[in-house]
Every structure is written in C-alpha cells, then in structure tokens.
Structure 1
Amino acid sequence: MPRARTLFERGAVGVINVIDLPGNERARDFSNCGGPCFNLGGRDGRFLETVMDRAAEAGALDRMRIRMSLETTRRSGLSAHNAIAVIPGSERPDETIIINAHADAWFDGAGDNGDGLAVLVGLARHFATEADPPRRTLVFVASAGHHSPGMNGPRNFVAMNPTFAESAVLALNIEHVAQRNLSPARSVADDGYREFVADAGEAPIVAGVSNEAPFLENLFRRGVERYGTNFVSGPSTMASGEGGGYRSLEVAIVTTMQAPPLYHTSGEVPEVISVPGLERMARFLAFFLKQVDVAPWEQLNP
C-alpha cells in the first residue's frame, strides 16, 4: 500500500482503506501499510466520504472524531495436512506429473481457491476412470497452509514425498481460475454509491510457464482456440502462489491464476463462480495433462 505509507510519512496516525467493491466486502491482503490500517467496505466508505464532505461544507470538519476498536485472537503451534491422490502410470510409473490446488481460504473462499480445488477433484476423478490410463504417474495434491506463514503445503509435500518429487517432470498449480468478472454499474444508487454487476464470463486468467518451454506455451494457445478459456496474457514465467513451493524440483512449473475483483474478500461466495468457466478450465486442463503425459522430457524441460 504505497499511498498509505506516504500518508504515514506525512504524519497520519492511521489510514482507512475504502475497498471499492460491491456492497460492504470485508477484505484481507492489504499489508505493509507502514502503520495502523483499517479496511472499510465500499458502501460504508462512500457514507464516510459523504459525511466528511458535508462536515467540511459546514466548517465542522475539525470537530469530527472517529472511534474504532479492534479485537484479535492470536493462534500458534498449528498443524495442517496435505491431501494426496495417486494414479499410477501405465508405461512410465517412475515419472510423475504433480497437480496442485490449495485447500485453505479466507472467508468463504469460493474463488480462492474453491474453484481451483473443484477442478483438481474433477481432474482426479476423470483420469481415475479413463479407459486409457495415463502413461506417467499423476499425483494430485490438495495443499494446506497457503495463507499461514511457515506452513507451505507444496514445500512440505516435496520434503515428505521425495520419491514423487524427485521423479517429477512438471508441476501444475491451479489457483483461482473461474471467478466471474465484475464491472461498475451504469447507474448510481440513492446514497451515491455505484454498485457492480457480474459479467457472464470469468475474469482474465494468467498462464505462467516457468521455463518458457515452447511446447507448453503452444498448449495454452491451442486451449484458447479449443475451449474458450480466458487466457489473455502473453507469455509469462510466473510461478507464484503454490507454484513457488515446487521451485526446488527444477522442472517446468505451470500456473493458471486469476486476480479477480473479489479476491480475498467476503464476496467470494459460490454465486460469483462461473460454472461454464469451471467446465472450460477442467476440459482445457484435461487436454493439457494428456498432452504433457505423452510428451518427451526435452519438450517439457528444454
């Protein structure tokens, strides 16, 4: 929050961040403010701005006072569990493809990462019942500890499962992939607040290929053509989120990730997930994994 830090440098004793999103969302993920920061929902923020404007017009702004209270609970010594499912390979069982989606969340977590987890489970069921089983071993990881410092699920998976980790040819991270996009409403409500409307389609999705393998990049281009997945970015080496926990494997890390408007807010409820978007992503990733399964090492890790 660079603007908040600037305000503290100029003498502010606290900063209120107005989260300009539908209604009054509670939000997480605003850190490094440089001092006490408070997040306020968009509609409440609009109300506060109106009150301050009217107080200024009446010459009473210097008499305004805000009283805020904060209640917290600190927990330590916690533990978490990864869930792992394995589909043995039919021809190259000693080579693994790791598919990861984190299971923990803020608030309801439908978009981060309920949608990614749903796709992961769907893929596991799909490949477990395929008449033609995968050639390489597929390892599905529902990782824990994503939002808890010191509890990185992928890194712990690598440390606790060296047989699977050391034989990996690729790691795929599925992380918030089907949340619907939002746009400001055309009209303004009676209180002056401009609401948002949900688009029919999902928000843009970044596709990251850590080693820039042309074969893998081309699969994303083909995926857009075949399945309509909303990959809009150019080539990226991004391996953030859970993908970063697999860097020690020194193989391709592939990431699918949105940064949707309701990310890390109380608005991440099932209604904001695009069901067709879930299907598009699941179909694309099934295609992607089948292509990776039969590709030689040199194409995956040139």
Structure 2
Amino acid sequence: MPKPKKHHFVPQMLLNRFAFDGYLWHLSIEREEQLRRARPREIGHVKGGHTLTRLDGTRDHESLEQAMSSIEGEASAAIRGIEADSAMAVVPRELAEPLAWLASLQSARSRALLGYIASEVHISKDADPFADTVGDIQSSLLRVAVMSVLETWFIRNDELARPKDQWDFVTHQLLGMRWDVMRYPDRSLAVSDAFAAQFGIREDAQGVFDRDPLGAMYGMNTPLWAAKGVTVALTPRLALNLHHGETRRVAAAAAVNMHTIRSARSFIAFPTDMDPDDVLPGWMDWIIGAKAIRAALPKSL
C-alpha cells in the first residue's frame, strides 16, 4: 500500500459531506488565490504534514495518520447518527463525545497554531537547525500537541488509568456545554479549517483574563471556558450550537457561517451547487476580517 503523501489537517470525511457531485468551492484565507473548484482530497492538507522523524532519522508517514483515523471514524459515525434522527434536538452524550474529541484534535493539529508556536521559539520549517533528526520542529510539535490528545483518547475508557491522564481540556470544556442541533431547509452552510468555531465572551465569565471583544469575534484571545458559544457545521444543512444556557438557543445559518468564516485560518469551502455570486457578497466582510487576522499571524507550519 502506498504511503500517504497528502496529510489532511481537515478530515476528508467532513469535507466530503459538503461536496456536491464530488466538488467544493475553495477560497484560501491565508493566500491570495482566486476562488476555485476542488475535490475534497485537494484541500485542507499539507504534503507530509503528519510525518514524524524517528530516532534513527527515518521518516514515519503513517503512524499518526492511523491513530487520528480512530477519532475521525467515531466522529463520522456520530454525525451519521445525528443526521439520521430528524427529531433529535439536543445531541446525547454518546454522540457528543467523539465530536468533542475531534474538535480537540483539530485544535491541536491546526497548521496555524503549530506555525505560531514555531515562531515563538524562532524556528521555521525551512530553517530548522534540527532538521532530519528526531527533534525537527514538525515532529516535536506533533508529539507535544497532537500525540498528547491521542494518548488521552486511547486510554479514556481504561479503568486502570489515572483520571488526570484521561482528561482533555478542550473535550472537557465542550462537553460541559449544551449541544443544540440546528437543521436548515436549504443547503446553506460553509465549512473551514475551524471545525469548532468559538465566538464571543460570556456575560457571566469569571476569572482573570484580558477581555478582547474584537478578538473574541474571531475566536481569539478568549479562554474556551469564557466563550459565549461554539458552532460546528457538520453538513450544508446541519450544524450544532454549543452554549452554557439551559434552554434551546437557535442559531441562524448566517450566524453559523459567520463564525465558521471568522475562525478560519487556512480556507473556507462550500458546495458547488451554492452560487458564489449569491453567497460571497454577504460573506465578504467576514472573509476580509478573517484574512486580516490571518495576515497578522505567523506563517502556518
């Protein structure tokens, strides 16, 4: 079997759900590119992006991909379960859990986040003093960020494991919210590299942190526990609205798209049966804002 070369940091199983006749409209947030038609396998990936360097200097292209597929597979099954039950208003715990874990994984393997961390230690992938060793910047960051999520995932149900070793911050915070299901009559939702799009600041948020309302609009500078909410687009007609309230909160399709686009750091995509001339004018302010935020951040890894 050939080793995978295109390592997707956004699962193809998610992108496939937004495709129409096998294609998506793709618009880059981090590069100046024209809107284009693309297959799901052609977007949301980095060549060798999940490759690890072993102690002996050889490259492991598959281990991380195989491990992450465990979370992606269960999350895909959860989406199917939500789709199949048209009466479901609130996502039950057993379906929310794999999606919360996928959100944690997506956060950990964000190429924008990894690029930001690399910039903070003043190392780039193109000028890495540890290149071709087990300590190269990509391998080091993937082991710290991604493998920590995976290790916790694989022992989450182990009765012999210590509770602190089974605890994942992002998953814990998301599962503490109410998960309302949003269903729309028309195919109207976009998808981006931001699987779980955080937004706003809770009015009752306690604790010490610098409140940045503008940054919070773009999913930045606010702890997850202090966020007003999180939206998750699952298909062009299906989304989740996560919040800390006790009663149902409706999120219009436009609001879900706003959060999806504002939180994007790499790209946005939408089905090719949605006419760009119809949807892009209404999204343009969000796209311009997302591009401005992205331009101010370090280059993706």
TM-score, normalised to structure 1's length? 0.25
Structure of higher CA gyration radius = 1
TM-score, normalised to structure 2's length? 0.25
Q: Judging by fraction of residues, say which structure has more strand.
A: 1
